[in-house]
Amino acid sequence: MDKFYDISAPVGRFLLTVIFIYSGLGKVSGYAATQGYMEMMGVPGFILPVVIILEVLGGIAILVGFKARAIAFLMAGFSILSALIFHPFGDPEQQNDFLKNLAMAGGFLMIVAHGPGPLSFDNRNK
């Protein structure tokens, strides 16, 4: 591959996942508030540990390119579900967040389609 691709793939993975890692860690420190917000939006609060694990460990896995296609597929679904549940498009104050989540899902689907790139655990032997 060319040098631009070699660098853009890991940088792109970093830019795509930093928000999930940061947000997941923030949910740990604000656990009760996050759980209450989820329940207010109709989502059972007991699934918060799953959300935290997906955001933090899934984000780290994509960042380093480990099982990237499968985890990116899960992260795309999570991004779309989050958009639909927490950022209703009809609410003018939520439209940008809704579209941001769809854009992140698109980035993850690009990883599903093209893989994590050459500088990744998935491609360490190539």
Q: Is residue 8 part of a domain?
A: yes
Enter the DSSP assignment of 57: I
Average the pLDDT over 51-62 and give the result. 98
Q: What pLDDT is recorded for position 90? A: 86
Q: Other C-beta atoms within 10 Å of 26: how many?
A: 14
Structural domain range at position 79: 3-116
Inform me whether the pLDDT recorded for 1 exceeds 60: no
Q: Is residue 99 part of a domain?
A: yes
CA torsion 66-111-69-50 (nearest 10°) is 80
Average the pLDDT over 51-58 and give the result. 98
Radius of gyration of the chain (CA): 15
Inform me whether the pLDDT recorded for 113 exceeds 60: yes
Domains in the chain, number: 1
Inform me whether the pLDDT recorded for 126 exceeds 70: no
pLDDT tens digit string along 70-107? 999 999 999 999 999 999 888 899 999 999 999 999 99
Q: What is the pTM of this model?
A: 0.92
Contact assessment for residue 63 and residue 39, using Cβ atoms and an 8 Å cutoff: no
d(CA 28, CA 55): 11
